[in-house]
Structure 1
Amino acid sequence: MRKFETLGYEQADGVAWVTLNRPDRHNAFDLVMIEELHTLWRELRHDDDVRVIVLTGAGDKAFCTGIDRSVDVPQPSSPYMMDDPMLKISPKHSDLWKPVIVAVNGMACGGAFYLLGECEFIIASESATFFDPHTTYGMVSGFESMYLAQRMPLGEVMRLTLLGNAERMSAKRAYETGLVSQVVPADELHEAAKWAAEAIAAYPPGGVEGSVRSIWAARDMTRSQALAMAPHMITLGNLAWSEQAGLFQQRSKEYRVR
């Protein structure tokens, strides 16, 4: 079993449950957590027993409030160069293409958007809130707002970014803007994430990971570039035709409507 100083970790039924575990600091990142997350994402690429990751935060007050302001991150003297340790916490930056579901409980703000911006989808408790305090403190919301701009309408990103600490986006509004895919009562958050993760984990991993990679390519590339990549993703990820036929015959007729 993996053990960490700042993370909780459990693994069952093809799902890795990762918990940001600094509740006394609202699960803010320190340099240890940053390194532990980066190391874990890199390790999970090679763990075939893990097919899906669920990421959440300890306690009910906060999912994550960004970087711990007590952390001292030395920076170059030139404004044209920057050392941003937060990039290392992002799953895709770590070359992890297994699905990551984020279950948001409480506040998610600032640097939390590095994680929300590179997950596959977000499930939030009804009490979850989202905000970006950068402008309040004379800081540029660079990476955070860019991640949000890929997931939300422009006006909503502008409002959330520019109003800083003055306004928080509710889980309901986050759902309406498309940032969140589902909102549930707080006591149902774990079960909602568990159901989705285990459903995905039950599918052949090649098709799942190839689909994840294809969708991110469609977002990052031009239309023609992404379409040119699609045949290669299909060739790499598809099961043999006979295996597909066997799974089709065994398919369950049960499903949910969201």
Structure 2
Amino acid sequence: MNVSDEADPLLRSGDIITEIVDRVLVIRLNRPDKLNAMTRAMLNELGEIFTLAGQDPRIRSLVLTGTGKGFCAGADVGGLKASAEQDLDERLAARPRFTPRMVGLWKPTICAVNGVCAGAGLHFVSDLDIVICSENAAFTDTHVNVGQITAMEPIGLARRMPLGSVLRMVILGKAERLTPQQALEAHLVSEILPADALMDRAMELARIAASVSPAAVQGSLKAVWGSFDMPLEDAHTMGFEEVMRHRNHPDAAEGPAAFLEKREPRWQD
């Protein structure tokens, strides 16, 4: 059970821990004895946290990581039985809403993979903007090993890495376990860090992301991610319209002015 501070609904403790550092929301999955396998309650709470973060002007970027030796071992297998007992309409109605993309959050996100990332944990790797990992990380999709179809995770991963690598993970299950170096070569992650340097680097990246124009970076991310849902010509049209609409935003004038005046820009939230 997680507890939120009544005075600040973004601050949580329990199976999910959050803290605000400068303008960065740090989210930690906190079931280390279960390698941070996610319960239904955790999935629901993550949706709440990402939704609130998107609405909160204090937050300009986010970092997600895990506590202990694991990043996220996927969904708690115990929850599969409860899902199987529901009728099909109930199951279809329970659309997942536990990542930034699923709730329509466009603030920059950093995924710091500190250990094993398996099954549903791959949602975070596919949906967050920048993914880095420690030398202790490993990536595998174990759905077929427990008799489950894997679909949403590999569909998302196929946008980040070669299809052949994704299909090996789908078909071979736990026998296909990517090392950090293999994940880097497959473009699943962009950096490998020593374990004790992972969070420092994640926070460094998050602070840089928090320093740019919030409106500009969110509009940019919305255009890039949204382009996957449409034909190329439509995507270019959508991107152009985003650029033109932003020209009326105060940050679009503030950026050039600050550059010419050799001062730090004063962005609007």
Q: Normalized against structure 2, the TM-score is what?
A: 0.86
Q: Per-residue deviation at 1:73?
A: 3.0
Aligned to 1:247: 258
Q: Percent of pairs identical after alignment?
A: 33
Distance 1:26 1:84, change over 3 A: farther
Distance 1:172 1:251, change over 3 A: farther
- Gaps of at least 5 residues in structure 1 are 253-258
Counting matched residue pairs gives 250
Contact map agreement 1:210 1:236 (CA 8 A) in 2 = no
Contact map agreement 2:83 2:91 (CA 8 A) in 1 = no
Q: Per-residue deviation at 1:189?
A: 0.3
Q: Choose from 43, 62, 65 the match for 1:56.
A: 65
Q: Normalized against structure 1, the TM-score is what?
A: 0.90
Deviations 1:90-147 (Å, cap 9, x if unpaired)? Answer: 2111111111110001100100012222110201001100001112222211112111
CA distance in 1, matches of 2:52, 2:171: 37
CA distance in 2, matches of 1:74, 1:57: 25
Q: Is 1:179 aligned to residue 188 of structure 2?
A: yes
- Gaps of at least 5 residues in structure 2 are 1-7, 265-269
Q: Is 1:221 aligned to residue 221 of structure 2?
A: no
Aligned to 1:106: 115
Distance 1:83 1:21, change over 3 A: farther
SS of 1:130's partner is: strand
Deviations 1:27-72 (Å, cap 9, x if unpaired)? Answer: 111122111101111111110110100000011x210011111224
Distance 1:99 1:110, change over 3 A: same
Q: Choose from 84, 92, 95 the match for 2:104.
A: 95
Give the CA RMSD over aligned residues: 2.0
Q: Per-residue deviation at 1:86?
A: 7.2
Aligned to 1:255: none
Q: Per-residue deviation at 1:88?
A: 1.6
Aligned to 1:26: 35
SS of 1:103's partner is: strand
SS of 1:169's partner is: coil
Deviations 1:185-239 (Å, cap 9, x if unpaired)? Answer: 1111011111111011011100010111011022222111111112331234344
